[in-house]
Structure 1
Amino acid sequence: MHPRSKLSQAQREQAVELFEQGYGARAVANRLGVKRGQVRRLEGRFRLHGRLCLVSKPTRKQYSFDTKMEILRRHKAGETKSDLAEEFGLSSPDLISHWVWEANKDGIDALRPKPKGRPQG
C-alpha cells in the first residue's frame, strides 16, 4: 500500500474487486464509505495496471526533461492523460497533471532534473 494512501489495504482490495465487476469510482466510494477522490486515483491506476495497482513499487522512476516535454506537448495537442500514461509507462495519469501544474506555476525549468546532494559552498 502506498504510504500516503488514505484507503486501508482491505479497502483497496475491495475497490479493485468492484472495479473488476464493472463498478465506477462513485459507486465504489459509496459502497466503501470513503471519499470519491481517493477511489478515483486508485481507479486510474487500476485502468493502467489492472490488479498490479495494489503492488507498491520499490523506487520512484524519474523521467528526462525531454520525455516530460514530449508528454506535455502531446497532452496539449489533445491526447488523453490515460493514453499517454499507458504508452510511456507512467505510474498514474495524475503525474501528467502534476507536471502541467509545475510548468504553469514555475515555468518549464521546473520540470528539469533537480541537482542531488547538498549544495557546494
Structure 2
Amino acid sequence: MHPRSKLSQTQRELAVDLFEEGYGARAVATRLGVNRDRVLRLERRFRLHGRLCLVSKPSKKQYSFDTKMEILCRYKAGETRFDLAQEFGLSSPDLISHWAWQVNKGGIGALRPKPPQPPPPPDTHFVP
C-alpha cells in the first residue's frame, strides 16, 4: 500500500475486486463507505496497471525535462491524460495535472531538476 494512501489495504483490495466485477468508482465508494475522490484515483491507476495498482513501487521514477515538456505539449494539444500516462508508463494520469499546475505556477523552469543541496555546515557551537 502506498504510505500516503487514505484507504486501508483491505479497502483498496475490495475496491479492485469490485472494479474487476465491472463496478465504477462511485458505486465502489458508496459500497465501501469511503471518499469518492480517493476511489476515483485508485480506479484510474487500476485502468492503467490492473491489479498492480495495489503494489507500491520502491522508488519514484524521475522523468527528464524534455519528456515532461513533450507530454505537456501533447496534453495541451488535446491528447488525454490517460492515453499519455499509458504510453509513457506514468504511475497516474494525475501526474500530468501536477506538472501542468507547476508550469502555470512557476513557469517551465519548475519542471527542471532541482540542483542538489549542499550539506549543512557543521555545528560550531559545541557546548560540553
TM-score (norm 2): 0.91
- Structure 1: distance between partners of 2:26 and 2:42: 12
Map Cα deviations across residues 61-105 of structure 1 (whole Å, 9 max, x no partner): 000000000000000010000000000000000000000000000
What is the identity, as a one-letter code, of the residue corresponding to 2:61?
Answer: K
Bigger-Rg structure (1/2)? 2
What is the identity, as a one-letter code, of the residue corresponding to 1:57?
Answer: K
Residue 13 in 1 paired to residue 16 in 2?
A: no
Look up the match of 2:73.
73
Residue 104 in 1 paired to residue 101 in 2?
A: no
- List aligned pairs for 1:34-113, cutoff 5 A: 34-113=34-113
What is the identity, as a one-letter code, of the residue corresponding to 1:118?
Answer: P
Look up the match of 1:25.
25
Structure 1: give runs of 5+ residues left out of the alignment.
none
Cα 1:119–1:104, aligned 2, differ >3 Å: closer, same or farther?
Answer: farther
Q: Number of paired residues?
A: 121
Structure 2: give runs of 5+ residues left out of the alignment.
122-128
What is the identity, as a one-letter code, of the residue corresponding to 2:79?
Answer: E
Quick one: percent identity of the two aligned structures? 78
Indicate the RMSD between aligned Cα atoms, in angstroms.
1.4
- Structure 2: distance between partners of 1:112 and 1:23: 40
